[in-house]
Structure 1
Amino acid sequence: MATQEKTPVENAQLKDIISHAKEYGFIFPSSEIYDGLQAVYDYGQMGVELKNNIKNLWWKSMTQLNQNVVGLDAAIFMHPLVWKASGHVDSFNDPMIDNKDSKKRYRADVLIEEKAAQYENEGDKARGDALTAEMGKLLEAEDLDGVRELIIREDIKCPISGTANWTEVRQFNLMFSTQIGSVAEDSQTIYLRPETAQGIFVNFLNVQKTGRMKVPFGIAQIGKAFRNEIVARQFIFRMREFEQMEMQFFVRPGTEMEWYEQWRDTRRKWHEAIGIPADKLRFHNHDKLAHYANAALDIEFQFPFGFKEVEGIHSRTDFDLTQHQELSRKKLQYFDNDLNEEGKPYGNYVPYVVETSVGADRLFLMVLCSAYQEEEITEGDSTKSRTFLKLHPALAPVKAAILPLTKKDGLPEKATEIFEDLKYDFNMIYEERDSIGKRYTRQDLIGTPFCIAVDHQTLEDNTVTVRDRDTREQVRMPISELKSYIDKAVNFKSIFAKLT
């Protein structure tokens, strides 16, 4: 069995974030007691709350805020011809190259992209752009020898061995296959889906007819996908088992670019609304388009290891529905009544598709990297460092912590009463161990926006002290106001308001 590969950490900040994620229950290496499994991770008790909040926000942003977008949950196993129609069986490959000295395998295109990023960081963006453009032409022409020559010409070395002793470049299919059937001789090869989009396409008519949907309309889905990645690096950025959040928006042919631009702007605004700084985001237009697209771009975030894709916006034309229609011999067309109202004849057509596809795990990593803060604070005559997660309150795993000042004098009982009242509305923590300062620190480290201290004055006038995570400021308020105070900060409405 493959073990968790020990690769060099590209950046000291990323190393700190990875360590923090494990120590405070966000991300664990999978099967760690057996030395792990390469490129597979488990979400811990804090991580699963944060990830669920991210997914829930995305889902509501798509389906609740848009009357013409509905949801779907398609099966992971699909008929193998689905992947023949989509092109994955024949062309879902990555170019791989091995270093003969380190025995490590790399994606050839990623090595070249990282070299281009190095040029850009050194102030020579033109050289970096020229390099990626040249690589794109070579890959489009399937000139793998040319790709290898490009790597050697640019003096790209293996980060492990430090040498440029490379093998030839080969194509590597990324799909996992398995067998289905009760006995071996009757079994059939099927695939673990490498993307969630095809489940939407094959259900296009089911959703359209049962939901009486009119073009334009969208179908959203969150689900697991699987890719046998050649190289797994950069923590959860590139994994073999991951989660996608995709929405396929079906439009009338000829209107796709209008919708492409609208969803491009809408999705960037969404990332900024959850607290991602605008200067940490950028659009990257594709020079080399996928076989199904007539326009494509990435929304990239500046991770500690550079700008990398978080979300893709693609105009997929009618490729997918047409392919499935031809191979299945079932019509996947839409009868557009509205054409007649516009003075055009009624007609059937295969809709064009605009896609937004975001990786839930990459989005999680982006949120975590953006939230991770280290600062120097002064308390009295001393200065000390402080680490905290500046998560948007709506995404924070825990919304508030109830902290009795002491474990006696009736304070735990009063604190428990407050906790019991609020736990039905918010994910809460009750804690009474250690000093109040240490408890504040622990909550800062997991990103809890509010700490509610219950002291002796609480027993007298039913007021508590509420500490803000980001400013560390404390305010006194009645217990009766806690629910509305917390809700104002953590409700998704605070994000939705920025999207309209």
Structure 2
Amino acid sequence: MVAETKPVSNADTIEKLVSLCKQRGFVYPSSEIYGGLNAVYDFGPLGVRMRRNIRERWWRHMVDLRDDVEGIETAILMNPQVWEASGHVQGFTDPLVDCTGTCRKRWREDHLAAEREARGKPADAVGCPECGGPLTAARQFNLMFKTFVGPVEDAAALVWLRPETAQGMFVNFPNVVNSTRRRLPFGIAQYGKGFRNEISPGNFIFRLREFELMEMEFFCKPGTDLEWHEYWCNERLNWHIDVMGVRHANLRLRAHEKTELSHYSTATSDIEYRFPFGWGELEGCADRTDYDLKTHMEHSGRDLTFFDTESNERYIPYVIEPAVGLERIFITLLCDSYEEEEVRGERRVVLRLHADVAPVQVAVLPLSKKAELTEQARRIEHHLRGLFSTEYDETQSIGRRYRRQ
């Protein structure tokens, strides 16, 4: 019987993915037995395998296979002066509005049109997207989580949970140069946890309050930055297609308009994916100029310039930053690989994941439970464990076991 692939409507895909992820052990609602916590998720046995594969593919192509990028791992907690100097304490904000009607929900002002359209309302409608009630005037809301170091909760003990990993790389720029004797251009890469107190997280794991970032800061000579920006935009787009197996037709590279650019950027492009809920950012690539190193020089009093022995000049490097969230890649791969087949009138889900990121790469399924066969099958599976991510299964019929893979 040949299976017939059926299209899946966009409206249903995310709900079906949420159900599938919980059922198969990809993603669980965090602390579910206590009602969970909005926009916080745990990753199950298959999910953690897939996350590791994504992370390893990124590190291999961003660091291991290149001779111009070094790796680093910086702390989540940093001296709060780092965030004051970078502008995060004053400016890492989103515009917040409150519904004063029946639902009392809070929204990002710049997301209101999309929230209305998602609920089948006109984008230019007035009032709350949920209940239509009146909205307050917008106010700025800082997205950083704060905590305290030590037993006393006062201003002197205040620290922030990092919203990005980039600042840890900027303040370590002179350390990496001195210890590796690197010449420009070169990059510093790392992955690690980030935290943002999002006003309106949603779309499953697309926008979370706790997430994993994979970022690289590429330091180059001023005047070469636009060329390097174009290079890294194309490099990262091709990586998603060639290495991760994302369909090119579902990706696009979109340059930011001048009105969209961050204060530190002269050029930013997003690699966007066509999600079931519309086009959304998968990865960003920004030309941050010399903003970060310059501002840390001014606030710390330390020299973060680079002496170029070839041109015999000293300057503050410009920075190109490709940055992506691991969970964004995760949900992109799930959406891109999700299909349904119809066999004898029954719909079956298929995830056509690239072999390099699939949580199970080899399944060993003995045809029967005879001891001589299962013993041999287990020996084969144990041997393959050192080469692949494997799974052994001898329960139920061979057809059902095959379908579970």
Structure 1 and Structure 2 fold alike (TM over 0.5)? yes
Output the CA distance in 1 between the equivalents of 2:199 and 2:149.
25
Output the CA distance in 2 between the equivalents of 1:159 and 1:217.
46
Which of the numbers 262, 282, 296 marks the counterpart of 1:310?
282
Output the CA distance in 1 between the equivalents of 2:220 and 2:79.
26
Amino acid corresponding to residue 330 of structure 2 in structure 1: F
**Residue aligned with 1:418, SS:** helix
* 2:116/2:123 contact within 8 Å kept: no
Output the CA distance in 2 between the equivalents of 1:325 and 1:356.
23
Within the alignment, does 1:84 sit opposite 2:84 as a pair?
yes
Alignment of 1:208-219 (within 5 A): 208-219=177-188
- Percent sequence identity over matched residues? 47
**Residue aligned with 1:236, SS:** coil
**Residue aligned with 1:276, SS:** coil
- 1:158-216 CA-to-partner distances (Å, cap 9, x unmatched) read 3421x152111111000111111244569511100011100000000101110111100
**Residue aligned with 2:365, SS:** strand
- 1:126-153 CA-to-partner distances (Å, cap 9, x unmatched) read xxxxxxxxxxxxxxxxxxxxxxxxx999
Within the alignment, does 1:281 sit opposite 2:251 as a pair?
yes
**Residue aligned with 1:18, SS:** helix
Output the CA distance in 1 between the equivalents of 2:20 and 2:153.
46
* 2:86/2:296 contact within 8 Å kept: yes
* 2:114/2:123 contact within 8 Å kept: no
Question: Match for residue 204 of structure 1?
Answer: 173
Cα gap change, 1:164 to 1:246, in 2 (>3 Å): same
Question: Match for residue 20 of structure 1?
Answer: 20
* 2:285/2:322 contact within 8 Å kept: yes
Alignment of 1:60-79 (within 5 A): 60-79=60-79
| Unaligned 5+ runs, structure 1 | 1-9, 120-150, 340-345, 444-500
Question: Match for residue 40 of structure 2?
Answer: 40
* 1:84/1:90 contact within 8 Å kept: yes
* 1:224/1:241 contact within 8 Å kept: yes
- 1:293-351 CA-to-partner distances (Å, cap 9, x unmatched) read 00011111011111000100100000000000000000001000111xxxxxx111110
Larger Rg: 1 or 2? 1
Amino acid corresponding to residue 372 of structure 1 in structure 2: Y
Within the alignment, does 1:195 sit opposite 2:164 as a pair?
yes
Amino acid corresponding to residue 35 of structure 1 in structure 2: G
CA RMSD of aligned residues (A): 2.0
Output the CA distance in 1 between the equivalents of 2:122 and 2:13.
30
**Residue aligned with 1:235, SS:** coil
* 2:305/2:317 contact within 8 Å kept: yes
* 2:97/2:136 contact within 8 Å kept: yes
Alignment of 1:444-463 (within 5 A): none
Q: Which one is further off, 30-39 or 184-193?
A: 184-193
Question: Match for residue 58 of structure 1?
Answer: 58
Which of the numbers 305, 314, 325 marks the counterpart of 1:348?
314
Output the CA distance in 2 between the equivalents of 1:351 and 1:440.
54
Question: Match for residue 493 of structure 1?
Answer: none
- 1:1-40 CA-to-partner distances (Å, cap 9, x unmatched) read xxxxxxxxx9311100111011100000111111001111
**Residue aligned with 2:147, SS:** strand
Aligned length, in residue pairs: 392
Shift of 1:75: 0.2
Output the CA distance in 2 between the equivalents of 1:50 and 1:153.
37
Output the CA distance in 1 between the equivalents of 2:31 and 2:293.
40
Structure of higher RCO (CA pairs closer than 8 Å, 6+ residues apart): 2
Question: Match for residue 146 of structure 1?
Answer: none
Shift of 1:237: 0.7
Question: Match for residue 373 of structure 1?
Answer: 339
Alignment of 1:416-431 (within 5 A): 416-431=378-393
Question: Match for residue 6 of structure 2?
Answer: none
- 1:105-134 CA-to-partner distances (Å, cap 9, x unmatched) read 111111235669999xxxxxxxxxxxxxxx
- 1:358-417 CA-to-partner distances (Å, cap 9, x unmatched) read 01111111011111111224xxxx453221110000101111111111112521111112
| Unaligned 5+ runs, structure 2 | 1-9
Shift of 1:157: 4.9
Shift of 1:236: 0.7
Output the CA distance in 2 between the equivalents of 1:152 and 1:219.
45
Amino acid corresponding to residue 280 of structure 2 in structure 1: K
* 2:112/2:129 contact within 8 Å kept: no
Within the alignment, does 1:263 sit opposite 2:235 as a pair?
no
Question: Match for residue 180 of structure 1?
Answer: 149
Question: Match for residue 236 of structure 1?
Answer: 205
Question: Match for residue 292 of structure 1?
Answer: 264
* 1:237/1:361 contact within 8 Å kept: yes
Amino acid corresponding to residue 278 of structure 1 in structure 2: H
Cα gap change, 1:337 to 1:227, in 2 (>3 Å): same
Amino acid corresponding to residue 191 of structure 1 in structure 2: W
Cα gap change, 1:186 to 1:107, in 2 (>3 Å): closer
Shift of 1:440: 0.8
Question: Match for residue 481 of structure 1?
Answer: none
- 1:26-84 CA-to-partner distances (Å, cap 9, x unmatched) read 00011111100111100110001001100110001001121010101000000111001
Amino acid corresponding to residue 348 of structure 2 in structure 1: R
Q: Report the TM-score when normalising by structure 2.
A: 0.93
* 2:290/2:319 contact within 8 Å kept: yes
Within the alignment, does 1:335 sit opposite 2:307 as a pair?
yes
Amino acid corresponding to residue 172 of structure 2 in structure 1: N
Output the CA distance in 2 between the equivalents of 1:186 and 1:367.
43
Question: Match for residue 403 of structure 1?
Answer: 365
Output the CA distance in 1 between the equivalents of 2:292 and 2:84.
11
Cα gap change, 1:325 to 1:303, in 2 (>3 Å): same
* 2:117/2:123 contact within 8 Å kept: no
Alignment of 1:150-161 (within 5 A): 154-161=124-131
Cα gap change, 1:383 to 1:115, in 2 (>3 Å): closer
Q: Which one is further off, 229-238 or 405-414?
A: 405-414
Output the CA distance in 2 between the equivalents of 1:51 and 1:24.
15
Amino acid corresponding to residue 39 of structure 1 in structure 2: A
Cα gap change, 1:244 to 1:409, in 2 (>3 Å): closer
Amino acid corresponding to residue 395 of structure 1 in structure 2: V
Shift of 1:421: 1.5
* 1:181/1:187 contact within 8 Å kept: no
Output the CA distance in 2 between the equivalents of 1:272 and 1:356.
16
Output the CA distance in 1 between the equivalents of 2:210 and 2:108.
18
